[in-house]
Amino acid sequence: VAQETTIDGLRLDDIATAIRTILEPFPSGSVGFNLLSVVMDADGNTAVDWRYTGGLIDGEMAAPAATANLAEPGGSVIAAVVSYQHAPLFGLFSPMRFSEVALSKPRRVSVIPRIDDD
């Protein structure tokens, strides 16, 4: 996402498909993801500009705190939060939840707008 100049729902749907495909051959029913663009105003206040959520994750979760450290006034940070609940094949172990947060600044523009046709 951080290499785009704009983003739309179709492109985000493609990213969601890629997330699920990466998990194959494991089931992807317990994956959740939250892709966010966090913008910073001239006063240093951050806000979520747009969000794309899928699967089993809280779609209203706050942006990762580290976005405020990476953003610059007038700019933005793209955050990707992915969570996966893995159930081992053998019942010897309890299910495990794996979560990862990745942050990236846009590379070609300061803010990547989401442009969806209404």
Does 63 map to a domain?
Answer: yes
Does 89 map to a domain?
Answer: yes
CA distances from 6 to 55, 88, 110, 116 (A): 24, 39, 11, 10
Instruction: Specify the number of domains making up the chain.
Output: 1
Does 47 map to a domain?
Answer: yes
Does 111 map to a domain?
Answer: no
Q: Residue 35: give the domain boundaries.
A: 9-104
Does 18 map to a domain?
Answer: yes
What's this model's pTM, rounded to 2 decimal places?
0.86
Mean pLDDT of the chain: 92
| Sheet containing strand 31-40, strands side by side | 46-55, 31-40, 76-86, 96-104
Does 118 map to a domain?
Answer: no
Confidence class for position 117, pLDDT limits 50, 70, 90: low
Contact 45, 63 (CB under 8 A): no
Residues 31-54 have a mean pLDDT of 95
Confidence class for position 89, pLDDT limits 50, 70, 90: confident
Of all residues in the chain, the percent with pLDDT exceeding 90 is 72
Does 79 map to a domain?
Answer: yes
